[in-house]
Structure 1
Amino acid sequence: MSPAGEQERHGLGESERICLDIIFRIDQGREAESRKRYWSDEEKYVPARIWRHIPLGEVVPQARSHGIDLEEIDGFILVGLAERGLITHETVGGVVILSMTTDGRSVARGSETRTTRRSKTSAAEQRRRTWDALGDAARTTLEAVFEVDQEKDAANKRRYHQSRKALPARDARRITLGDIEPRIQSHVGGLEDQASQTLPALAHHGLIETETIDGEPSIWITRQGRAVVKQSTGRTATPGPARSRPSDPSVLSKGLWTMMATVARSGTDGVDYLYHGAVGHLLEGKSDERPFLRRAEVTLQTADTDSEQETLFGLGAEEPSASTEPAELKTVKRYRFTAVGRAFYTEHLDQYRELYPTIEAPDLLPDS
């Protein structure tokens, strides 16, 4: 819509449109000057709340050139523009200061304002309309495609959790006509009808994608297609494989048992670092139910790193020097078992080995 047409739609008279255009041009000129000033080295950037203040005296001369006098501008024209939310005006030190609003700039440019912009159709309403536009055969076919898609996705997730290998989503979720035939044959026509009529209709609505591979039609449901089915039928996505979390809250989760096994593998040296977010569930003084670990002072020997590296790379003597200095001792804090933690680990070791077979959980050494 042209600026004049947009302004007429807001009920602006000719004098109001002229004044609004004058204020807009001054506003835009000030903005351009401010940006130029910002990129120059002469002055710093001036905040918008300052440079967008327009004294009425700058508007009056240009308005007079269009046959609009001062009293008219200072009277009903400014009030009319302000009532429509296109400008603001205030008197500062006896001077009338004008400022354009965002809606005022939109009207001057000829675009819709925030207050009069047509409300966009919500995504939920669009999905509802799409579902209503589908025939019974198309709906049945889309539901079947959705079900197969969810089953294939769940199978791919199980494959990943079992072997840490998964197919690319495009390959894993590829659906053939044979996959959906048992689900639709009692409700709609044969496969030939699906390929020639129903599938193109679903693809037209952006609910599925189709491609012919090795002479056979292949189908993928789109995100929009899943959303339409979920909203319209109340179906939910098929859950993936359950996490390795015991149903009994008294049993340690896989993450907590991993920390227990890590401390056990460390022997008498202890562990310098554990997952800080979860270790509190096992730490003495923080957990009343499981005070299994503590931060204890441990005395360690620091190796002669330089001598070790020289021997390792063949740079040093083959036999250690007789004057080798003794290793330095230092005291550090490490995670170690409490007496309660040692007893729990020893008593339940076989149970957790069976529950979490992938975690290396050794027998405890004495005094570890």
Structure 2
Amino acid sequence: MSKHLHLWEKLNERQQATLTAIYRTDQSVEAAQKEGWRLGSIREKASVWRNLQYYFEPTSYETLLHKLLSLAGVVDQGLGSTLALLERHKLIECNYYDGELISIKLTTTGRAVARAGLGELAPKKPPKGQLKPRQWEALCTAYQAGELGLESGLTFGDYAGFSWQWTWLRLRDYQGSGLVKEVGYWNKDGKHSTKLVITQAGIEFYRQQWSQYRTLYPDVNAPKPD
């Protein structure tokens, strides 16, 4: 028996239900964050978005965490004691303000214990060098643009709506052989500007890896290479 499963079995039914509700909230928020990144949202630190909001006024929007804890039947006078025990086991971290529970953060150990108890496996890390969905989508866009390249958007460096920091920079510096590059030129108004162009290495990568990534990310518009 793993140490995480052993710790899960030391919890009583109420404590397990509480930890499960927190874990389900954590995973829902993580999935939403990943979808946001795929669509180009700015990345927040995990320490921020994993801080799950609990507190809400009775007349306002109910948080997901409060809803799932309520459905688990643990939102009562005994919730504080249950959370305190989970916190002593370093499974969660609670944040209070003026005696009111504001938020809960699931720890790495808490996530592992919940997964062990629920029989779920941690997602495998992708192989080193594998592009993320948003990065692959950006490369597809650059490939389709060809030699004409992509003009910079309203935000400096965010070509075609893809983040420079989280997407293009990764492709530019990909394993020492950039898949894209910035090219300077003089526009019709006589002003110096830049555009982003796929490199020969990027073209070869696209051609060689197209089938694999087409299977990995079928929702990405990736035309079959020439």
TM bucket, shorter chain: 0.5 to 0.7
Deviation at 1:172, TM superposition (A): 1.3
Counterpart amino acid of residue 182 in structure 1: K
Deviation at 1:200, TM superposition (A): 0.9
Inter-partner Cα distance in structure 2 for 1:158 and 1:275:
30
**Is the counterpart of residue 279 in structure 1 residue 169 in structure 2?**
no
TM-superposition CA deviations, 1:296-331 (whole Å, max 9, x none):
xxxxxxxxxxxxxxxxxxxxxxxxxxxxxxxxxxxx
1:151 maps to what in 2?
A: 28
Alignment check: 8 A CA contact 1:210 1:219 kept: yes
Contiguous gaps of at least 5 residues in structure 2:
55-62, 125-131, 151-195, 212-219
Inter-partner Cα distance in structure 2 for 1:176 and 1:204:
20
225, 242, 249: which is aligned to 2:110?
A: 225
110, 116, 132: which is aligned to 2:9?
A: 132
| Residues 258 and 193 of structure 1, relative CA distance in 2, 3 Å threshold | same
1:201 maps to what in 2?
A: 85
Alignment check: 8 A CA contact 1:150 1:237 kept: no
Inter-partner Cα distance in structure 1 for 2:199 and 2:115:
41
Aligned positions of 1:1-368 closer than 5 A: 125-177=2-54, 179-195=64-80, 197-213=81-97, 215-217=99-101, 218-235=103-120, 243=133, 254-265=138-149, 274=199, 276=201, 279=204, 281-282=206-207, 355=221
1:308 maps to what in 2?
A: none
Inter-partner Cα distance in structure 1 for 2:205 and 2:52:
47
Counterpart amino acid of residue 133 in structure 2: R
Counterpart amino acid of residue 130 in structure 1: L
Alignment check: 8 A CA contact 2:39 2:134 kept: no
TM-superposition CA deviations, 1:246-282 (whole Å, max 9, x none):
9xxxxxx65245134132449xxxx997152651554
Deviation at 1:135, TM superposition (A): 0.4
| Residues 160 and 192 of structure 1, relative CA distance in 2, 3 Å threshold | farther
Give the structure-2-normalised TM-score. 0.53
Deviation at 1:243, TM superposition (A): 2.2
Alignment check: 8 A CA contact 2:91 2:107 kept: yes
RMSD over equivalenced CA pairs, Å? 3.9
Inter-partner Cα distance in structure 2 for 1:261 and 1:125:
52
Inter-partner Cα distance in structure 2 for 1:190 and 1:265:
56
Count of matched residue pairs: 152
Alignment check: 8 A CA contact 1:209 1:221 kept: yes
- Which structure has the larger Rg? 1
**Secondary structure of 2:120 counterpart:** coil
Aligned residues: percent identity? 22
Inter-partner Cα distance in structure 1 for 2:206 and 2:40:
30
**Secondary structure of 2:96 counterpart:** strand
Contiguous gaps of at least 5 residues in structure 1:
1-123, 247-252, 290-353, 357-368
**Secondary structure of 1:219 counterpart:** strand
Deviation at 1:355, TM superposition (A): 4.5
Alignment check: 8 A CA contact 1:150 1:238 kept: no
Deviation at 1:136, TM superposition (A): 0.3
Counterpart amino acid of residue 199 in structure 2: L
Deviation at 1:143, TM superposition (A): 0.6
Counterpart amino acid of residue 204 in structure 1: R
Counterpart amino acid of residue 67 in structure 2: P
| Residues 238 and 219 of structure 1, relative CA distance in 2, 3 Å threshold | farther
| Residues 173 and 265 of structure 1, relative CA distance in 2, 3 Å threshold | closer
Alignment check: 8 A CA contact 1:157 1:166 kept: no
Counterpart amino acid of residue 230 in structure 1: R
